[in-house]
């Protein structure tokens, strides 16, 4: 039997190895930026064309390389950062394996110019597919410039699997932000297709965070500080109200290196328990300083997964530090000054004996009696206000139980009797409506008792209203008397720019105003009563992780998000006329029985159902 095992050609071996390190344009950005930081650069420029598919260039003013070092840097496992096994346990630099430039040169056309401070001239070389094409002397400033062109030109299958320009650019910005956030003493610039996206001068950490995430973050950041023998923790957390449904504003660094950890993310989530909605994630920018030998950064090709020697103790310290910051800076829920003052209970005077509460009941009063005087009805409402506010949980259980019996739209469409309910009465005073727990609306009718979920009902109403207005041929817009200016993070700004054409087609007039700022001059007529900045921020948040490619689907998502972001939330007190209007408008909807997620908007408790409840 002939021998079948043989060594791979160097070029092929390099391409295979490159696949572990260089997965997309953002991988190149990460490696080049980290090399510039390791070189002691104080000014770094990242220049990108066509989301990195055509060009990725990094220019720095670091210590540069000699002619021999420049050539050697393209060899696999050639590095100046470690020389013996023990060095792996005391790593202080970002890179150390000697794989980055060799991997890049294996799958791209690479051009390098570099000069060290002790030399009068620099060196200029070009490589393609792991082969150096030429190297010659050149005039150059101290530092290094590396240009990577036509990434994956010799591996077309890899290039074919790259995502859209918008997605690839988002990944590039991710890597840029991670390096910039942990090196505030370095000035960074980012250009894409000759447009400046970032200019980050040297600044303290807080200003660097604001420079990346946007000026609005100045009011959101809460400092976190803790120092123990095991770890030093510093950085910032976002206030609870800035938590978002999607992840993307969570940054962990250890010894100036970005890493990912669901374990430490859970520690921070636990510290926010009870302060943010379920399914939302707080923003944080947390920096750990530990002894280098207490971590292992050499367990993943991209070095984003790090093993800690005593992660359980660090988990407890992190959670405690975040909870203390939340309390220290008074960002936990405080007194609600809009609540009913009559419910406040003052402490009794010293030695005073509290009197037992008295209850006054009118045995002859029937709240469902249409002939009762209006003043008696008001007294009944006031007398039951406390019960309505404190029994929300009970009513929620009742609602959840009743909605199990709610027929689907296919099983039982709106009946003729329910349609007739739209004509309840010409006189609104003859219809009994109540708000329960600031979440449900009870409407009495001849059919029985309707119990509405006010947020779900309003979402359905708004969705059908917006859909009819936005999907019509007119695309009517309302010019704003005072245009609204918003500022977004670079990631969100890039996403909004990609949506501008679609948004214009449904009635928005949005104009870029600076790097990450926009002016909203007009909105769809159906949106004139909204806080447009909140609505835009809302559907950008919704689309960040799941952006449809089909324009029709995109419009649908925008309309759905607008309805969900604008609907009346639980906890808002409504007037009787508002509740009645909500009920009647819902009954006129095309699909009144379900919200946008298929959940019931109301249940009807008729005599038969009430009999079962009381059996």
The answer to whether residue 400 scores a pLDDT higher than 60 is no
Question: Are the beta carbons of 225 and 321 closer than 8 angstroms?
Answer: yes
Q: Does domain 382-615 have CATH number 1.10.10.10?
A: no
- pLDDT for 48: 97
> Six-digit token pair at 160?
């074919």
- pTM of the model as a whole: 0.67
Cβ-based neighbours of 612, under 8 Å, separated by 6 or more: none
Tell me the pLDDT of the chain averaged across its residues. Answer: 78
Candidates 302, 34, 56, 26; CA nearest to 162 is: 26
Burial 340-355 (b: 16+ CB within 10 A, else e): eeeeeeeeeeeeeeee
> Six-digit token pair at 357?
């509460």
Local confidence band at 406 (pLDDT 50, 70, 90 cut-offs): very low
Higher pLDDT, 57 or 370: 57
> Six-digit token pair at 285?
């920018």
Question: Are the beta carbons of 467 and 460 closer than 8 angstroms?
Answer: no
Percent of the chain at pLDDT above 70? 72
Q: Does domain 10-202 have CATH number 3.40.640.10?
A: no
Selection from 37-46, 214-223, 349-358, 540-549 with the highest mean pLDDT: 37-46
Local confidence band at 226 (pLDDT 50, 70, 90 cut-offs): very high
The answer to whether residue 102 scores a pLDDT higher than 80 is yes
- pLDDT for 211: 92
Selection from 230-234, 351-355, 519-523, 586-590 with the highest mean pLDDT: 230-234
Going by the DSSP 8-state scheme, the letter that residue 244 receives in this structure is: B
- pLDDT for 182: 95
- pLDDT for 36: 94
Quote the CA–CA distance of 545 and 491 in Å, as a whole number: 11
Average pLDDT of 474-478? 67
In which region does residue 294 sit, left (phi positive, over 0), alpha (psi from -120 to 50) or beta (all else)?
alpha
Local confidence band at 563 (pLDDT 50, 70, 90 cut-offs): confident
- pLDDT for 354: 56
Domain ranges of the chain: 10-202, 206-328, 382-615
Quote the CA–CA distance of 399 and 382 in Å, as a whole number: 23
- pLDDT for 83: 45
Cβ-based neighbours of 294, under 8 Å, separated by 6 or more: 230, 308, 309, 310
Tell me: the pLDDT tens digits for 163-203?
A: 888 889 989 999 999 999 999 999 999 999 998 889 999 99
Tell me: the pLDDT tens digits for 496-518?
A: 887 787 777 777 889 888 778 88
What's the CATH class of domain 206-328?
alpha beta
Percent of the chain at pLDDT above 90? 35
Average pLDDT of 415-442? 66
Quote the CA–CA distance of 116 and 60 in Å, as a whole number: 12
The answer to whether residue 359 scores a pLDDT higher than 60 is no
- pLDDT for 338: 34
Average pLDDT of 442-471? 84
Average pLDDT of 29-53? 94
Other CB atoms within a 10 A radius of the CB of residue 199 amount to: 13
Average pLDDT of 552-567? 79
In which region does residue 194 sit, left (phi positive, over 0), alpha (psi from -120 to 50) or beta (all else)?
left
Count the helices and strands in the chain (H runs, E runs).
Answer: 18, 22
- pLDDT for 376: 47
Reduced 3-state DSSP string for 407-431 = CCCCCCCCCHHHHHHHHCCCCHHHC
- pLDDT for 60: 96
Burial 366-398 (b: 16+ CB within 10 A, else e): eeeeeebeeeebeebeeeeeeebbeebeebbeb
């Amino acid at each position: 039997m002939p021998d079948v095992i043989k060594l791979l050609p160097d070029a092929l071996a390099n391409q295979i190895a490159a696949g572990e390190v260089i997965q997309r344009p953002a991988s190149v950005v990460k490696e080049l930026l980290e090399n510039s930081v390791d070189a002691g650069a104080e000014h770094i420029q990242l220049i990108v064309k066509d989301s990195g598919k055509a060009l990725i260039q990094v220019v720095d003013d670091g210590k540069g390389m000699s002619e021999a070092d420049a050539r050697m840097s393209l060899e696999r496992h050639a590095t100046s950062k470690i020389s013996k096994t023990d060095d792996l346990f005391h790593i202080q630099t970002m890179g150390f394996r000697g794989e980055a430039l060799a991997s890049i040169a294996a799958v791209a056309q690479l051009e390098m110019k570099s000069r060290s401070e002790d030399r009068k001239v620099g060196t200029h070389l070009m490589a393609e597919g792991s082969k150096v094409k030429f190297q010659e002397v050149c005039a150059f400033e101290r530092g290094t410039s590396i240009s990577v062109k036509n990434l994956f030109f010799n591996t077309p299958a890899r290039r074919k699997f790259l995502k859209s320009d918008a997605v690839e650019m988002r990944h590039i910005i991710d890597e840029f932000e991670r390096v910039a956030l942990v090196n505030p003493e370095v000035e960074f610039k980012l250009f894409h297709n000759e447009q400046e996206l970032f200019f980050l001068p040297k600044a303290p950490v807080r200003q660097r965070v604001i420079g990346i995430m946007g000026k609005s973050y100045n009011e959101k950041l809460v400092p976190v500080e803790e120092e123990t023998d095991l770890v030093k923790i510093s950085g910032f957390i976002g206030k609870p109200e800035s938590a978002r449904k999607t992840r993307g504003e969570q940054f962990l660094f250890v010894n100036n290196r970005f890493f990912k950890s669901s374990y430490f993310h859970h520690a921070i989530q636990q510290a926010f328990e009870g302060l943010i909605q379920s399914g939302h994630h707080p923003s944080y920018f947390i920096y750990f300083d530990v002894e280098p030998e207490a971590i292992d950064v050499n367990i993943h090709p991209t070095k984003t997964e790090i093993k800690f020697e005593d992660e359980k103790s660090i988990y407890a310290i992190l959670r405690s530090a975040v909870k203390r910051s939340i309390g220290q800076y008074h960002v936990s829920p405080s007194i609600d000054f809009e609540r009913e003052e009559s419910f406040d209970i003052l402490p009794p005077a010293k030695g005073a004996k509290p009197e037992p509460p008295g209850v006054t009941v009118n045995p002859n009063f029937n709240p469902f009696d249409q002939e009762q005087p209006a003043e008696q009805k008001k007294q009944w409402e006031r007398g039951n206000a406390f019960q309505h506010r404190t029994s929300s949980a009970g009513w929620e259980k009742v609602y959840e139980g009743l909605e199990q019996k709610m027929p689907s739209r296919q099983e039982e469409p709106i009946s003729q009797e329910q349609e007739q309910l739209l004509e309840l009465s010409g006189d609104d005073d003859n219809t009994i409506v109540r708000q329960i727990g600031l979440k449900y609306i009870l409407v009495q009718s001849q059919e029985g008792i309707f119990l509405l979920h006010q947020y779900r009902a309003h979402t359905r109403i708004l969705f059908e209203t917006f859909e009819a207005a936005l999907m019509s041929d007119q695309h009517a817009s309302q010019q704003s008397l005072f245009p609204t200016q918003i500022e977004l993070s670079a990631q969100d700004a890039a996403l909004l720019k990609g949506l501008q054409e679609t948004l214009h087609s449904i009635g928005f007039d949005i104009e870029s105003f600076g790097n990450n700022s926009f002016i909203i001059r007009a909105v769809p007529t159906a949106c004139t009563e909204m806080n447009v900045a909140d609505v835009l921020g809302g559907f950008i948040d919704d689309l960040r992780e799941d952006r449809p490619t089909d324009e029709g689907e995109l419009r649908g998502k925008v309309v759905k998000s607008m309805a969900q972001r604008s609907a009346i939330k639980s906890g808002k007190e409504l007037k009787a006329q508002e509740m009645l209007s909500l009920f009647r408008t819902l009954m006129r909807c095309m699909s009144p029985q379900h919200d946008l997620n298929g959940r019931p908007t109301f249940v009807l408790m008729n005599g038969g159902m009430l009999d079962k409840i009381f059996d």
